[in-house]
Amino acid sequence: MKIGLGIGHCISQQGARNITHNITEFELNKNLCQDISEKITDHEVVLIYRDTYVDLPEKINLTNCDLYIEFHCNASENSKASGSEVLYYQWSPKGESYANTFIKTIIESVGLPGRGIIGCNKNDRGGYVLANTKMPAIILEPFFIDNDSDYETFINNRDTYINNISNTINSLVKL
Ligand SMILES: [Zn+2]
């Protein structure tokens, strides 16, 4: 398979941030995707950076990857919000199946509460990319970056997360 790893957000709009630890979603996921890509031994891998949000689905489609995984961190007005989610396009059974695989890996690796998988439509958060990519696509939200406790839990388990996500990717079969 060819696996697309998408770094959420971009250098000029870095997404949510953790103020205490002075890090943004973009910075965190750029390093994370690099580390994960180096451990993908059983599939071809392509790192995909966002230029503009409008052009992103076409950029992804042009890679002809078999599965697109975009890396984000959650954020909330509620500073106590905590846990892991995976988003998929609600009309994609293959996306749903991959989402189920990855939410299990995330919960086992990070140890935060599982908030489940969320079937999005095109107008939901992340839905534009999920609905307009021609291959199955999922968005990983392993923790809330604006919650210090979630962030610290994730960082303490970062190596495990990288190993387990890469192992899960290595063992994927094309649906
Ligand atoms: Zn994000």
What is the rounded distance in angstroms from the CA atom of residue 129 to the CA atom of residue 95? 12
76 CA to centre of ligand 1 in angstroms: 11
3-state secondary structure of 141: strand
* Whether domain 2-170 has CATH 1.10.490.10: no
173 CA to centre of ligand 1 in angstroms: 27
What is the rounded distance in angstroms from the CA atom of residue 107 to the CA atom of residue 116? 10
- Write down the pLDDT at residue 117: 98
- Local confidence pLDDT in tens for the 175 residues of the chain: 999 999 999 999 999 999 999 999 999 999 999 999 999 999 999 999 999 999 999 999 999 999 999 999 999 999 899 999 999 999 999 999 999 999 999 999 999 999 999 999 999 999 999 999 999 999 999 999 999 999 999 999 999 999 999 999 999 999 9
pTM of the model: 0.98
73 CA to centre of ligand 1 in angstroms: 5
The domains of the chain are located at 2-170
10 CA to centre of ligand 1 in angstroms: 10
37 CA to centre of ligand 1 in angstroms: 19
Q: Which residue has the tokens 């949510």?
A: 16
74 CA to centre of ligand 1 in angstroms: 6
Q: Which of 56, 57, 34, 54 is nearest to 46 (CA)?
A: 34
- Write down the pLDDT at residue 79: 85
